[in-house]
Amino acid sequence: MVREIYKGRIVDLRVERVTLPNGVTVDLELMHHPGASAVVAADEQGRVVLIRQYRHAAGGYIWELPAGVLASALEPPEVCAARELTEETGVVARELRHLGTIFTSPGFCDERIHLFLARGLTDGSAAHEADEAIAEIARIPLAEALAKVRDGEIVDGKTIAGLHLAAAALGAP
């Protein structure tokens, strides 16, 4: 049994009656999300592009990777990644490499974020959407970004995962 609670622009909330592998039947509150892509854009100097964006749920501005929601279930994640990188930062990538896919909060949400490494960067023009409050776009050394993770300055999950996966892919210490 599925009961629809809310249908929104980005997420849907429903309650599903589910029989777990141990035989117990429970009602689970589940949030459906179409998925997203995030990009670690790394330049030839070993710097990564980060944005400082207002996130109401987080209580203010946080450092993040450029990212966005898939336009539809049919949109290839790499197309979304390229679009969001350019929209949010003005950066265009010659090459995108898939680093991995993560669940954001699998206890109640099916959102998956596809993480990409972007290389061969050129600067273009950003075109922020009306609901984006990006205060700053910065290029910082990957090692410094990872230090910000350790120091608690970067707290966004997709950004933490993406930076670590990119460091491994780039052979960074």
pLDDT of residue 172: 75
pLDDT of residue 73: 84
Could you tell me which CATH number the domain at 34-170 has?
A: 3.90.79.10
pLDDT of residue 126: 82
Q: What percent of the chain has pLDDT over 90?
A: 92
Please state the domain extents for the chain.
1-32, 34-170
pLDDT of residue 103: 98
Helix (H, G, I), strand (E, B) or coil at 166: helix
Q: Stretch 42-69: mean pLDDT, rounded?
A: 97
Residue 8 backbone phi and psi in degrees, to 5: -115, -175
User: Is 29 one of the catalytic residues?
Assistant: no
Active-site residue identified among 64, 132, 144, 153: 132
Look at residue 52 and tell me whether its pLDDT is greater than 80.
Answer: yes
Confidence (pTM): 0.94
**How many Å apart are CA 130 and CA 151, to the nearest integer?**
32
